[in-house]
Structure 1
Amino acid sequence: MTTIRSAHPADAAAIAAIYNYYVATTTITFEESEVSAEEMASRVTKVISSKLPWLVLEEDGKVLGYAYASKWKERSAYRFSVESSIYLHRDVRGKGYARKLYQHLFNLLRQSGVHLVIGGVALPNEASVGLHEKMGFQPVGAFKEVGRKFGRWVDVSYWQLRLE
């Protein structure tokens, strides 16, 4: 059975294992060194303590993916906008789990008064572009060659979803 629940720092090792695959093998994240379970627990705690959701999707007790919202910017006027992030275990992509996670995340954000969700997508990434399009995000721009990983420049497109 698949469930979505709030993440806890105790989920950090499973979350880090999912994330570190993308760190080591893709340009989806600009992180260049693997993240320890301790660092991931700190990140989960930071998001939760800022009153934003961090969710995990699990099946039969195993974490298969996660999604969370973080502050878009620190200035007070940005408090109604967040940035979303989502990662799935590499073996379960394409099964609709990302859509379920995002739907759950966005419902929680709506209930808390968030107005706008921003998503950044390192390019190329057809799966993430497709997910954001299916969820109703609109493209709003791109930074060319904003990051460098694995010896090449990477562009990032930005998307937004108005929740109200």
Structure 2
Amino acid sequence: MIRPVTIEDAQQLVDIYNYYVINSIVTLDLVPFSKGDFEVKIEEISTKFPFIVYEVDNEIVGYAYANTFRTKPAYKNTVELTVYIKHSQLGKQLGKKLYSELLLLLKNKNFHVVIGGLTLPNDASVKLHENFGFEKVAHFKEVGYKFEKWHDVGFWQLTF
């Protein structure tokens, strides 16, 4: 079931996210988050943008949300997307289901441009974005440093 996030989801979301902080370059965050950090994130984001979770048998297996792309007022119709799937649930098309719902919500709220920022290489995320019609519009070389290595970041854009 896909549903809106609630503050009670914070612990499950932080558990999903911190796996990637500790074990991968999918996020360039270096320090794990606390439950409180995610409670603040949920409150700040869900009041302005869609923030949804995918739940199976009362367990959250993934989440996705839109957030501010840039803070200047002229960017108000552009958002940046985020999606995370519980690492044990990868390969089950959950990201596709979450993105389908999130993009529909954003289109219905009259957002104009959606941006996905990806640490590279990340074939699964590139494929996910391109399957929804996102086009690669930027590639920044060696802008993130994690696990004793420099990483590139690419940006994909979808215009409604």
> TM class by shorter-chain length?
over 0.9
Distance (Å, rounded) in 1 between the aligned partners of 2:105 and 2:25: 29
1:10 aligns with 2:8: yes
Aligned to 2:80: 83
How many residue pairs end up in the alignment?
160
Aligned to 1:126: 123
1:40 aligns with 2:42: no
Identify unmatched segments of 5+ residues in structure 2. none
Cα RMSD over matched residues? 0.6
Letter matched to residue 115 of structure 1: H
Distance (Å, rounded) in 2 between the aligned partners of 1:18 and 1:31: 14
Aligned to 1:94: 91
Distance (Å, rounded) in 2 between the aligned partners of 1:60 and 1:44: 22
Identity of aligned residues (%): 41
Aligned to 2:59: 62
**TM-score normalised by the chain length of structure 2:** 0.98
Secondary structure of 2:22's counterpart equals helix
Distance (Å, rounded) in 2 between the aligned partners of 1:74 and 1:141: 19
Aligned pair partner of 2:29 in 28, 31, 39: 31
Misfit runs of 4+, over 2 Å: none
Distance (Å, rounded) in 2 between the aligned partners of 1:9 and 1:144: 37
Distance (Å, rounded) in 2 between the aligned partners of 1:45 and 1:102: 21
CA drift at 1:91: 1.1
Letter matched to residue 10 of structure 1: E
Identify unmatched segments of 5+ residues in structure 1. none
**TM-score normalised by the chain length of structure 1:** 0.96
